[in-house]
Chains A and B, each alone.
Chain A
């Protein structure tokens, strides 16, 4: 098992280098003067000359790539012109929102999608099956930004003054105290390095509210998370339900299922222990595949719901031509995606021991 993990980790290194090469090329291909693209149109020639020398932009292109990779490895993503702060700090502030949103959406899609798929396979061709499949086909076809807007309209305008009202935008209601746990615990506010990680954890509202026993914040954060995470979860949910169904159908037709039934096991045991466990591999695969859509969809969901996450920051950076951020955030999201896929691959090996030996 360990050998398999090590091999998979080593295999992902060239892909990670490739990602850096692509984002590096994107930054170099942007038309115009790199200095003024980064420092702004008003930079003087003298400032620009110094900037180009400092950044090593007068060195050969492969040296520049080496410098770039070195900077990233040290966690230095450069400066944002627009917000005049290190991009790493912006990441620590923006990433928690996206992480919360993606995890919530993934959880919803798994908790709803997998049981729906199993039920429609077990009750093949019943009305449950038909409705699930019609819904799954519609789910994968809906644009996430449209669904988000429509949900916001229904739940905050049409259902106004009912108990079902939900906030259409934002992360928390104004006025709710949101002190990071390290301040509540009396630990000095961290500034750099590991402190950035503390900062990141402190901005994960749900985690932070539990750590500081701030139940008002927990409730408020969850209420704000419902609509965006539901909108974002539709496509993965539909994909997971479809895959769970077809995978279960295939397994249910196997001889060992008939044997299990024949020896008198309860239906429940046959379905959950014998069939489900064996149908997991394709389900995990489709979960892995939908992660990319989830991260891409986060850009749209955050834009629609006015959430200041990584996706929204990326969108703002593109419109403001803040290339430092575009480059850094693309790298971070892509690396995040590769790591998640690595996790999916490792879970394959756990679920199906044959894969380790390939």
Chain B
């Protein structure tokens, strides 16, 4: 895999930057022309900023219990000074959770978890999916049949359900939940890569490389796989959205991140029975999940439109 990563930019320089405008510049321009994609990028930018700087901007330690340190009680309503909350009381923008911790700080730290969850599961699924899809598409025959039938079976399960079943075997916990979601999302990437490989396998430039004595690895990684890059980027961006949503669902059910980890799904799950008495503890984590997922969905849709060759005449 390292070979893939190291050779791709090089190919980019050799092949595309010779012309005055590169594919990525065109894509970039098209992306900025779409309002929804720009909104997605802005939200995502803010989230990344929060995730990187959270230790300086969060007012409290996310797992510190404030009982005895401050005059607050469990599930206290939000107290915001500029909105009329007396300044004698400590400020808690989103209130205090069931274990007397600052909800706002936990929410900010949750950004970090959410992005880590999204990127690790999708990276895992892309790596495995690319290997399987490339093998299936390039070698064909029984290899293709075996790999793709296994993928069909994985796709035959509703994804969240299969993830639940896998976590049941592995045992609850964030790591296992991530592994489960990663496994469940492999088929999508394997299919994308296989389709790209099949579409270029018989092309003349591939035959030319073969005739020039290029070995299988070189053909696969340098000549064939770069074609799968654009659909993979689109699928991966949208996949991060699904992964974050599924991981939150698993944590909500108690199968993913365990307390006191400030993970949004588990924060929501811990307080779900208090929704009628302390709705803010359910409301804010849900909004945070929805915003994060929305940003990846908007960006993914924008990328798909920008990278779609059928829309090439637009720019």
- Which residues on A are within 8 Å of B, measured CB to CB? 14-15, 18-19, 21-23, 26, 29-31, 133, 137-138, 140-147, 149-150, 152-153, 156-157, 168, 291-297, 299-300, 303-304, 314-315, 318-319, 323, 326, 330, 333-334, 337-338, 341
The reply to whether A143 and B252 form a contact with Cβ atoms under 8 Å apart is yes
Instruction: Give the contacting residue for A22; candidates B153, B158, B279, B293; CB below 8 A.
Output: B153
Q: Which 6 A-B pairs have the closest CB atoms?
A: A296-B160, A146-B286, A18-B153, A292-B158, A141-B294, A141-B293
The reply to whether B241 and A141 form a contact with Cβ atoms under 8 Å apart is yes
Query: How many contacts between A and B, using CB within 8 angstroms?
Result: 143
Give the complex CA separation of A68 and B255 in angstroms. Answer: 28
Highest count of chain B CB atoms <10 Å: which of A14, A145, A303: A145
In the complex, residue of chain B having the shortest beta-carbon distance to the beta carbon of A152: B275
Give the complex CA separation of A315 and B160 in angstroms. Answer: 12
CB neighbours of A31 from chain B (8 A) = 169, 171
Instruction: List 26 A-B residue pairs with CB atoms under 8 Å apart, sorted by A's residue number.
Output: A15-B152, A18-B149, A18-B153, A22-B154, A22-B157, A31-B169, A133-B36, A141-B290, A142-B290, A143-B248, A143-B286, A145-B269, A146-B289, A150-B275, A150-B282, A292-B157, A292-B158, A295-B161, A296-B249, A300-B252, A314-B164, A318-B253, A318-B255, A323-B168, A333-B158, A334-B156
**Given A18-B152, A145-B268, A153-B275, do A334 and B290 touch, yes or no (CB 8 Å)?**
no
Known pairs A30-B168, A153-B275, A296-B158. 13 more at Cβ < 8 A?
Answer: A15-B152, A15-B153, A19-B153, A143-B286, A143-B293, A146-B282, A149-B282, A152-B275, A152-B276, A291-B158, A296-B161, A300-B160, A334-B156
In the complex, residue of chain A having the shortest beta-carbon distance to the beta carbon of B248: A143
The reply to whether A300 and B158 form a contact with Cβ atoms under 8 Å apart is no
In the complex, residue of chain A having the shortest beta-carbon distance to the beta carbon of B295: A141
CB neighbours of B293 from chain A (8 A) = 140-143
In the complex, residue of chain B having the shortest beta-carbon distance to the beta carbon of A156: B276
Is B245 engaged at the interface, CB distance under 8 Å to the other chain?
Answer: yes
A327: shortest Cβ distance to chain B, in Å? 8
The reply to whether B165 and A140 form a contact with Cβ atoms under 8 Å apart is no
- Which residues on B are within 8 Å of A, measured CB to CB? 36, 149-150, 152-154, 156-162, 164-166, 168-169, 171, 241, 245, 248-249, 252-255, 265, 268-269, 272, 275-276, 279, 282-283, 285-286, 289-291, 293-294, 297-298, 301
In the complex, residue of chain B having the shortest beta-carbon distance to the beta carbon of A318: B168
In the complex, residue of chain B having the shortest beta-carbon distance to the beta carbon of A15: B156
The reply to whether B153 and A157 form a contact with Cβ atoms under 8 Å apart is no
Give the complex CA separation of A326 and B169 in angstroms. Answer: 10
**Given A141-B290, A141-B294, do A14 and B149 touch, yes or no (CB 8 Å)?**
yes
Highest count of chain A CB atoms <10 Å: which of B36, B168, B291: B168
Instruction: Give the contacting residue for B245; candidates A143, A152, A314, A337; CB below 8 A.
Output: A143
Give the complex CA separation of A338 and B156 in angstroms. Answer: 6
